[in-house]
Amino acid sequence: MESIISAHQSLEKKGNLSKTITDVQALIDQLQRTRDAVAETPELTAMHVAKLKQPVKASFDKIEESLKEVNKGLNQYQKALKEKFKNAALPTAANEVLGREDGLVNRAIAMHLLREGKFGVARTFVREVNEAQEEMGRYGGDGGAAVNDSWMQEFADTDAMIMEMESEGRLELREDGEVLDGKGHLQKKFTEMYHILDALRSQHKLSPAIAWAKENSMELENRGSNLEFELARLKFIELYSSSADTMSDDDLSGPLNALEYAQTVFPTFSARYSHGISNLLGSLAYSPALDSSPYTTLFFHPHTWDEVSTSFTREFCSMLGLSSTSPLYTAVTAGGIALPILEKVERVMAASRGQWTSVNELPVETPLPPEMLFHSIFVCPVSKEQATDENPPMMLPCGHVIANQSLRMHARGKSRMKCPYCPGESDPVAARRVYI
């Protein structure tokens, strides 16, 4: 990969088109001036055109010269890619599952676009998928896959909804904060989420998130979420610092506003967050010398808005029964990490004419980060094999867990068996399956 990285860095240095753009703009300005001159004195058109010939040729030469370095960098990059991947064909499976489930892939793409707030792109994508399926059905073919377009109902919308939602690349809602009417349930939900996240990240406005948290307070409480209190804490800090932001003559106006807010809102959270509330109220004694107080870290945290945005996204998606991270992003990232290893295994297997001995188990470890390990894996300490549905983990009465095949091997049909890891003896029938 070193050659590709080097070629990429070289392309970044040589691929600066600012000089080329400047030369093109100069040529356009020169042509504009000539056109104006011809319009003013039509009888001198031939002279104006003759004067323009040499400067235009010189301008094209300068543009061509400035593009040589860009083309050189592109050629080097293309050459490095061909050298690296000339024999690296992607492995193909005989039983390709995703090839028969194109609806799942399309839904994942559409869902990702909605999560990113690309509502217009999502609308275009769904429309084109629908058109492709209609054309496929018109010619009586399904491409070897069963067409399942039920997922599209979740993304159904109208053109008017999209036009009103987007203004200068940003989402717009009505003044009362309600989502514009539309047929798509997920479309409306992600519209609401994007609106609140934009207010948190870009504008540092808490009111939309607080209103949403208050509306869903009961469900957040049942989930044990801290989001509602975190938003109230940020509102307290915002009011506390308001006098400094507005350059008010009364240095105590901000702390007094924060105290009034705390008296109104914090009693609701006193049972669970008494310690946090005590710290916030204790900071009032240090106003206006908050910078040198023991509470300064509560008020000046560089990642506060990013953390509350992440927390809000997690809770919002959880209420929809979705993960906080886009499944498409997770799949692509995990695939990018694991693919080189699997591709190498494929080459080694082909060269040695070997085969995998287990259908449900990879012959190598894929070093995925902890946040992408969604399913716990049990490896039997006796047989060193990974548990499967056919060979599940079993817990003995003594508490030790081994695979079912190891249990049967040790029992050998007897009514009593000794645990492989402790002196305890038990009836094999007393072992219970463990669900991970």
- 111 contacts 186 by C-beta, under 8 angstroms: yes
The mean per-residue pLDDT over the stretch 284-313 comes to 81
Question: 42-79: string of b/e by CB count within 10 Å (b at 16+)?
Answer: eeeeeebeeebeeeeeebeebbeebeebeeebeebbee
Quote the distance between the C-alpha of residue 300 and its chain's center.
27
CA dihedral 348, 349, 353, 357 (to 10 degrees): 150
Among 78-87, 112-121, 218-227, the range with the most confident prediction by mean pLDDT is 218-227
Q: Using CA atoms, how far apart are residues 264 and 277, in angstroms rounded to an integer?
A: 13
- 386 contacts 376 by C-beta, under 8 angstroms: no
Residue 280 has pLDDT above 80, yes or no: yes
Looking at residue 181, its pLDDT comes to: 39
| Domain 375-436: homologous superfamily in CATH | Zinc/RING finger domain, C3HC4 (zinc finger) (3.30.40.10)
Q: Using CA atoms, how far apart are residues 316 and 188, in angstroms rounded to an integer?
A: 13
Residue 239 has pLDDT above 80, yes or no: yes
Grade residue 160 by pLDDT with cuts at 50, 70 and 90: very low
Q: Using CA atoms, how far apart are residues 273 and 267, in angstroms rounded to an integer?
A: 10
| E strand or H helix at 83 | helix 45-85
Grade residue 425 by pLDDT with cuts at 50, 70 and 90: confident
Token digits for 247?
């350059």
Grade residue 155 by pLDDT with cuts at 50, 70 and 90: low
Looking at residue 125, its pLDDT comes to: 86
Grade residue 85 by pLDDT with cuts at 50, 70 and 90: low
What DSSP designation does 224 have?
A: T
Q: Using CA atoms, how far apart are residues 146 and 103, in angstroms rounded to an integer?
A: 9
Looking at residue 358, its pLDDT comes to: 56
The mean per-residue pLDDT over the stretch 68-96 comes to 68
Structure confidence by residue, pLDDT tens digits, 165-219: 444 344 443 333 333 334 456 667 877 888 888 888 888 889 999 999 999 988 8
- 195 contacts 173 by C-beta, under 8 angstroms: yes
Structure confidence by residue, pLDDT tens digits, 17-73: 777 888 888 889 888 988 898 888 888 888 888 888 888 888 888 888 878 877 877
Lookup result for tokens 């995990």: 334
Token digits for 249?
């003559």
Token digits for 355?
């085969």
Q: What is the chain's mean pLDDT, rounded?
A: 77
Looking at residue 296, its pLDDT comes to: 80
Answer positive or negative: Cα dihedral of 339, 340, 346, 350: positive
Q: Using CA atoms, how far apart are residues 220 and 319, in angstroms rounded to an integer?
A: 9
Grade residue 163 by pLDDT with cuts at 50, 70 and 90: very low
Q: Using CA atoms, how far apart are residues 56 and 23, in angstroms rounded to an integer?
A: 11
What DSSP designation does 90 have?
A: P
Instruction: For residue 121, give the nearest of 133, 132, 113, 130 by alpha carbon.
Output: 113
Residue 159 has pLDDT above 70, yes or no: no
Token digits for 334?
């995990």
Give percent of the chain with pLDDT exceeding 70.
Answer: 78
Q: Using CA atoms, how far apart are residues 45 and 405, in angstroms rounded to an integer?
A: 96
Looking at residue 231, its pLDDT comes to: 92
Looking at residue 212, its pLDDT comes to: 92
CA atoms within 13 Å, Cβ hemisphere of 65: 8
- 198 contacts 171 by C-beta, under 8 angstroms: yes
Residue 142 has pLDDT above 60, yes or no: no
Structure confidence by residue, pLDDT tens digits, 348-388: 777 777 666 555 556 677 778 877 777 677 888 888 788 88
Instruction: Please list the residues that pair with 403 across neighbouring strands.
Output: 393
- 281 contacts 262 by C-beta, under 8 angstroms: yes
Q: Using CA atoms, how far apart are residues 216 and 80, in angstroms rounded to an integer?
A: 54
Q: How many CB atoms lie within 10 A of CB 40?
A: 9
Residue 97 has pLDDT above 60, yes or no: no
What DSSP designation does 420 have?
A: T
Give percent of the chain with pLDDT exceeding 90.
Answer: 5
Residue 314 has pLDDT above 80, yes or no: yes
Segments making up each domain of the chain, as ranges: 2-85, 375-436
pTM of the predicted model, to two decimals?
0.53
